[in-house]
Amino acid sequence: MFPGTASKFKAGELPFTPTRSQRLLLAGLVDTHLRVGRLDELTALHDGVWAGDLAIDFHSRAEARFQDVFLAHHSDIVPALRDAMTNTGGGYETVCEIGCGSGLLLQHLSRELSDPDRFIGLDSRGRQVDINRARFRDSRLAFETGEGMTWMLRNGRRGSVFYTYGGVLQYFPQRRLQALLSWMVGALPPVLLGIVEPLADGHDVDGDAHSLPYGAENTFSHPYPLLITQAGLRILWRRECRVGAQRRLMLVAHAPGRDWVNTSN
């Protein structure tokens, strides 16, 4: 009935305060694509939401999660990253957090990981980046605007550590995630990848090669261990953690570089 509006929504052009009819249209789009297994065609919907002011409000209200959730339940991944950096030869100069939000976790990483010279927080919202730049004055911290895969294709460096927390890669369709991992291994080794990402209950991430629709936002629960090893990374550390109803996978993986020179020696 409203093909023009539907096309705009699918392209990520969303109203800040949708009307009832617009909300019904959004629900219909999601339901239709979910039933036919084409949820990946709605990726721009998520991009549109997380690039808007709603995301700014979310991060301003959700900073308590850093203390109550990350430090309390997921902080073990930081020493795992530190050990991986040492055990794979060192020399990592850059840490990049894809989807840095409020910047608190990136600041924490900069305090716990002493070797890298640069800590880059990447976020799709220019306004959030401006807020972070005004808040954090540490010269090792930098905040940039950009979509994760596009930014990495243009700015990725060898000897980097890439990190996501709390649900970033869940917004990537499986093919897009596979392309990102394959490019990372082919173009940027040596590279370390650290993730804390949600999983759907009952998803066998070691045996099921397919991503599943996940959660109220209809994102994706990916078989990360399978996809990561298929791309050519080796898993160095892995753990699952449940906080309330949320199942999370914590993982650190490495892809070596054949001609890598350890600059830390």
Residue-wise pLDDT for 101-131, tens only, equals 899 999 999 999 988 999 999 998 888 899 9
107 and 218 both lie in a single domain: yes
- 55 domain residue, yes or no: yes
Last residue of a domain, which of 43, 59, 75? 59
Last residue of a domain, which of 15, 35, 59? 59
53 and 68 both lie in a single domain: no
Q: How confident is the model at residue 265 (pLDDT cuts 50, 70, 90)?
A: very low
106 and 194 both lie in a single domain: yes
- 262 domain residue, yes or no: no
- 265 domain residue, yes or no: no
- 264 domain residue, yes or no: no
250 and 184 both lie in a single domain: yes
- 263 domain residue, yes or no: no
| CATH code, domain with 181 | 3.40.50.150
Q: How confident is the model at residue 258 (pLDDT cuts 50, 70, 90)?
A: low
- 162 domain residue, yes or no: yes
49 and 127 both lie in a single domain: no
217 and 106 both lie in a single domain: yes
What's the pLDDT tens digit per position in 31-70?
565 565 665 655 555 555 545 555 555 556 657 789 899 9
Q: What is the pLDDT of residue 211?
A: 96
Domain span at residue 182 reads 63-255
pTM of the model: 0.78
81 and 181 both lie in a single domain: yes
- 260 domain residue, yes or no: no
Q: What is the pLDDT of residue 153?
A: 84
What's the pLDDT tens digit per position in 137-147?
899 999 999 88
How far does CA 69 lie from the centroid of its chain?
17
51 and 96 both lie in a single domain: no
Last residue of a domain, which of 59, 90, 106? 59
**Rounded average pLDDT over 188-193:** 94
20 and 84 both lie in a single domain: no
The number of domains in the chain is 2
233 and 178 both lie in a single domain: yes
Q: Is residue 263 predicted with pLDDT exceeding 70?
A: no
120 and 243 both lie in a single domain: yes
193 and 111 both lie in a single domain: yes
Q: Is residue 203 predicted with pLDDT exceeding 90?
A: yes
